[in-house]
Structure 1
């Protein structure tokens, strides 16, 4: 789990998909340079497992339009050291099914009142079909490519999605949280990683 921070404040989550790349949401892009923190459960404690990096380049999806294609890769200034606390979460290659076991994690607002937790939160997630999601999100285009913004939806040990948006309240069954489906972007992810080999 990655924390994307500006001036020490958590802004978005992400997942380490290669030693030097974090997968997050394109709407997390900022003109300022992120500090990327890996290997922590707490945003305030000085944990010995903590690794800190500077984001040296962002790769938002070229077709991101403020809603669809909400996916971005961030390159770190150097490769992370893989440890028990810092591991890769590979992007999911195939679509999920109803039997997939999924979780999402992050430091996002858990009370829908603007208060962010200090400790990393994790929750089990139930998947809905696109049809069921469309019925609940009337007037919002839910496409075949669609928690804590940018954080991962992890299904069966792989990054299956990126937290994109939710209703006024996260986890509300009336307006289910929407994730960008990583399997729809595997070619794009692969091309960015191939064009930017590990230093």
Structure 2
């Protein structure tokens, strides 16, 4: 989950002034079984993948706020595995409304969370499904084994993956993460860190950190120099810290939309 975005994300970071790096690909991972993560979304600008995301209802996608730093018009692709395969029945939907957290700023990665209201409801099927988010605020136990997935760089300065990649990671103790990043960049109440042999890279930003069957984090930032750094762990926006805000947005259209979200 690195913050100096590579080619595809470079345009998203014109105001980046500190040492974090936004994310785009899975390092030391493996190709996911096709459509085994039906909640995964490719967030695109001009039909080019720039970030990950995930479906939390048939009308809303969650991603990272920094994914829209300079990309004003986004579309999402649902039900994809190979982004180059036009025959796999993936679905492109325009975004109707953008809801970035009101306290997010492009200079820092606090409150790095964005909700995309789709132009129309997604037609759910075996390849397109929503994923649960937490029902209440709380921390995931340190050393819990979770997983991440995305399309993007397979190594620092490497090539993008057309296929969805995945890897397991472990949740890091908040105090340890804070000692590595410092209090100014890491907020234990709003963020969480992971570590492991595999990790995120440029292009994975906005994708979910999944523990059990629940999305608990949004890929946000990491070491500016190297993907999956042993020194600066990858940082995720903690979804449970934003539940009141999320519910206020989801409920703005139809109360049925809020009911469709599966809370853990």
Residue 55 of structure 2 corresponds to residue 16 of structure 1: yes
Report deviation, 1:53.
0.2
TM-score by length of 1: 0.93
Query: Which of 224, 239, 257 is the equivalent residue of 1:182?
Result: 239
TM-score by length of 2: 0.71
Q: Is the 8 A contact 2:152 2:162 kept in 1?
A: no
1:7 alignment partner in structure 2: 46
Report deviation, 1:130.
1.1
CA-based RMSD: 1.6
Separation in 2, partners of 1:194, 1:138: 36
Separation in 2, partners of 1:47, 1:80: 18
Report deviation, 1:110.
1.9
Instruction: Pick closer, same or farther for the CA change 1:183–1:53 going to 2, 3 Å.
Output: same
1:96 alignment partner in structure 2: 140
**Higher normalized contact order (CA 8 Å, seq sep 6+, divided by chain length):** 2
Separation in 2, partners of 1:100, 1:186: 22
Separation in 2, partners of 1:24, 1:114: 23
Separation in 1, partners of 2:186, 2:222: 12
1:20-31 equivalences under 5 Å are 20-29=59-68, 30-31=70-71
Unmatched 5+ stretches in structure 2: 1-39, 192-199, 258-264
Separation in 2, partners of 1:47, 1:39: 11
Unmatched 5+ stretches in structure 1: none
Report deviation, 1:13.
0.6
2:3 alignment partner in structure 1: none
